[in-house]
Amino acid sequence: MKSAVSELKKIDEKIKIIDRFPDGVFSFSTSLNNKDFLSFLEANPPIFLRHIHPIHGVLFISENRWAPDTVGEFITPLGKKIKPGKKTSVQARRIPGEYDHTLFSYKNALDPILRDTFYAQNVVQRPEQIVSIFVTPSTEIDVKNSNEYEMNPESPPPWKQVALIGISTPRENLCEWSGGIVRFSKEMGVVSRAEFKLLEAMEIFDISLPPHGIALDLGSSPGGWTKVLVQKGLYVTSVDQAPLEPNVAKLPGVRYVQSKAEHFRGEAESFDLLASDINRDPVKSARSLIAVAPFVKKNAPFIMTIKLADKNFPKLIDKTLETLRESYIIKGVKQLYNNRDEVTVWGIRK
């Protein structure tokens, strides 16, 4: 959360943190108007801030009301924020606790209203607009003295829950996924959590893989990334000093090379994709990518994780990216949901 707040303050030094919730969630106010704020955010893409949504309504839910129905009743007054006929997703989140309803209950309550009143196409993925709902027992937002928020006047304290509601586009939210959380089902045969990191990177960065292409996977053991790439239809040269998990090593299309990444040698411009999840100092990992750059086709995509073991990680990230720029063009840097103590960088070979 600290890093995300720092990124916001680079955009607006007058950013004010209002509420701090579990799991790194917080509410804030900015001195900028919405258009300027988003423009600055796009010009300075955040690494650690994964998801935001505006607060257009603050709904106090009394003890005798069922939250999803109450939120449903409040959507119509917010109708001026909703564009009719759009693919619309309802995304609900809440702080941990015991509730008398599920998050899916909000979708069940709101979808018919959005469809019948605003002619919305109810979707889960690839929405054009999003109705975001965040539920908490309390809030520090001073709605009575603010013109920025709308509130329901019929539910004075005491209340059991407060719903913060906003309508926006995926672009305005930085991500089309609720809370910036990209989840994948844990199927049988998962080699490691690393598989989800690669799948999320391809989803968030919208990376297209060359059909039947040849990939180079550095620091591949135990083989999670190699497995994903093979399943996506690529042939993979998998490089690591440690062996691959046997079920990965025997997959059709996998060639294992026991070697340090920087010592690997291949044919000039023979690889359509470069992937690296090397567990070592990021700058040294970047130098390994420079060493193998001659074997990667020009304009071919690369994906790399930067391990944040160093406490001064902003400087570490900058130095790693500076090293990579010798042979690669950086397209994006992000701490993904499945990253933990690392960030993912992607780009193309110069």
Q: Looking at the predicted structure, is the pLDDT value of residue 131 above 90? A: yes
- What pTM value is reported for the model? 0.87
**What is the structure's pLDDT at 185?**
67
* pLDDT tens-digit series, residues 274-327: 999 999 999 999 999 999 999 999 999 999 999 997 778 889 999 999 999 999
Enter the tokens of residue 56.
């257009």
Q: How many CB atoms lie within 10 A of CB 318?
A: 10
H or E element, residue 216:
strand 214-218
Nearest to 201, CA basis, from 50, 20, 60: 50
- pLDDT reported for residue 214: 97
Domains contained in the chain, CATH given: 1-49 (no CATH), 50-180 (3.30.2130.30), 194-349 (3.40.50.150)
Rg (CA), the chain: 23
Helix/strand/coil for 5: helix
Q: What average pLDDT does range 107-113 have in this prediction? A: 96
How far CA 335 is from CA of 45, 46, 158, 273, in Å, comes to 12, 9, 39, 21
Assign 35 to helix, strand or coil.
helix
Per-residue pLDDT tens over the stretch 171-180 = 999 999 999 9
Query: How high does pLDDT run on average in the chain?
Result: 90
3 state SS of 191: coil
